Amino acid sequence: MESDGISQVIILSFLIIASAYFSATETAFDSFNKIRIKNLAASGNKKANLVLKLEDDFENLMSTIIIGNNIVNVAATSLAAFIFIKHYGNVGLISSSVIMMFIILIFAEVLPKNIARKSPDNYVMFSAPMISFFIIIFKPLNLFLAQFKNIINKLYKSEMQPNVKEDELMTMLNEVENEGYINKSESDLIRSAIEFNEVVVEDIYTPRIDIEAIDMEDTFEEIKEKFLMSGYSRLPVYQDNIDQIVGVIHEKDFYQAINRKEKEFEKLISNVLYVTQNKKISELLKDLQRSKAHMAIVIDEYGGTSGLVTMEDIIEELVGEIWDEHDEVIEWFKKIDDDKYLISCNADIDDMLDLFGVEVDEKLDVTTVNGWLTMIFEEIPDEGGKIIFKNLDITVTKAEANRVLEICVEKI
């Protein structure tokens, strides 16, 4: 082979290596761990700092990689065609196309991208200095492409989409948990934080029927009895009926008033927040913090009392149930046999259906097991009432005149 032929083969090999470099760099910058690189940059790693600087202008970076990759691929294909035609005539054109397609696909695309994907953090730091050089070289082309892109964007306006959607974030969280980087309790906490902004008051509030409250006409002895029996540190106060809640009284203030031998408790009543059922708990938390309150009254569409929600209810949405030494621990789902449970009807209906792996065709308009039972029975069922729903055998085990308290559910 002549010296010209050898030099042409060397140049062709260099172009293929350059194509492999650009392909690997593109993959690495798409998949590197930004948090890990930030930590390295914070500890003084100069290459990690350069990587972050390049990533800040991601569009310019990708544009440089694409320009470089296309230039070397076109140059490599053209040079290969020239070499083959020179030696084999017109037949060499077809041969060079087939061979170069195979070489570029395997050695300049698949293999380098797989290598970069296995260790993207190391590769981005290796490639950062060189790609910075190419960004300077291709700056005129990048400026031209940027102007062209602006024109296209003006012609075809589209709504900006977030880089990572919530469902994608959940999938990433599941992957991290499955790979053992975090445990289940940590992933549950992160998942709760992600979903926190979607939860509304209706999902967590204590319904009206379960509210313990003080009548303005109650005596000190009656109030004391209600604090003792309920175990709550704060109780709402109503005038005439539960639909007219006027404030909240704290147990500590009440007993201090007793020690001072006061005869009226009206001045102990503090203001209370009023919220609707569809208010997001993330917004309510801010309102409670701003007003230094721990409780809000939930009102219905007619202005009547629908229930109440506390700061503790909101926090439990993040960290799970919080029990203290005075709380009665409630077991929502008590297993009595394989696929057979006693279930409190205050439990969340979605949790119950998830427990038995049952899917419903449409979104439920109710949140509790009791509300769901009333819907499928089309009435308030009596104790002993039975119904089959999909593959669930449901028996009412405890009930009152106006609601169901407990059911036995068996998967059949």
188 and 207: one domain?
no
Task: Extract long-range pairs of 100-109: CB within 8 Å, 24+ residues apart.
Answer: 100/76, 103/16, 104/16, 104/19, 104/73, 104/76, 104/77, 107/16, 107/20, 108/16, 108/19, 108/20, 108/23, 108/73, 109/19, 109/20, 109/23
Report whether pLDDT(106) > 80.
yes
> In percent, how much of the chain has pLDDT > 90?
22
The answer to whether 173 touches 191, Cβ cutoff 8 Å, is yes
Residue 35, burial from CB neighbour count under 10 angstroms (0-12, 13-18, 19+): exposed
211 and 173: one domain?
no
215 and 174: one domain?
no
Distance of CA 357 to the CA centre of its chain: 22
Q: Which of 120, 150, 144, 149 is nearest to 51 (CA)?
A: 120
In a domain, 170, yes or no: yes
236 and 345: one domain?
no
Span 78-103, mean pLDDT?
82
Distance of CA 39 to the CA centre of its chain: 24
151 and 213: one domain?
no
CATH of the domain at 395: 3.30.465.10
157 vs 274, which has greater pLDDT?
274
9 and 131: one domain?
yes
The answer to whether 373 touches 404, Cβ cutoff 8 Å, is yes
312 vs 184, which has greater pLDDT?
312
Span 84-97, mean pLDDT?
78
Containing structural domain, residue 176? 166-198
- Residue 161 — very low, low, confident or very high, per pLDDT cuts 50/70/90? low
Q: What are 342-394's pLDDT values in tens digits?
A: 888 888 888 888 888 888 777 777 778 888 888 888 888 888 888 888 888 88
Report CA-CA distances (Å) from 380 to 79, 335, 372. Answer: 83, 25, 10
Report whether pLDDT(331) > 70.
yes
Residue 328 to residue 337: CA distance in whole angstroms: 24
Other beta carbons less than 10 A from residue 183's beta carbon: 9
21 and 138: one domain?
yes
Report whether pLDDT(163) > 70.
no
126 and 31: one domain?
yes
Angle at 227 between CA 223 and CA 233, to 5 degrees: 125
Q: Which of 22, 23, 15 is nearest to 131 (CA)?
A: 22
- Residue 245 — very low, low, confident or very high, per pLDDT cuts 50/70/90? very high
29 and 118: one domain?
yes
Q: What are 24-81's pLDDT values in tens digits?
A: 999 999 888 888 899 888 898 999 999 999 988 888 899 999 999 999 999 999 888 8
The neighbouring-strand residues paired with 410 are: 340, 393
In a domain, 144, yes or no: yes
Contacts of 349 (CB under 8 A, 6+ apart): 364, 366, 367, 368, 369, 371, 372
Question: Which of these ranges, 107-116, 184-193, 196-205, 384-393, has the smallest mean pLDDT?
Answer: 184-193
What pLDDT shows up at residue 326?
A: 53
Report whether pLDDT(327) > 80.
no
The answer to whether 191 touches 212, Cβ cutoff 8 Å, is no
17 and 137: one domain?
yes
222 and 311: one domain?
yes
Residue 12 to residue 72: CA distance in whole angstroms: 9
- Residue 262 — very low, low, confident or very high, per pLDDT cuts 50/70/90? confident
What pLDDT shows up at residue 186?
A: 75
How many independent structural domains does the chain possess? 4
Q: Which of 251, 284, 319 is the last residue of a domain?
A: 319
Mean pLDDT (the chain, rounded):
84
253 and 126: one domain?
no
Q: What is this structure's pTM? A: 0.53
Report whether pLDDT(199) > 60.
yes
Residue 152 to residue 157: CA distance in whole angstroms: 8
> In percent, how much of the chain has pLDDT > 70?
93
In a domain, 161, yes or no: no
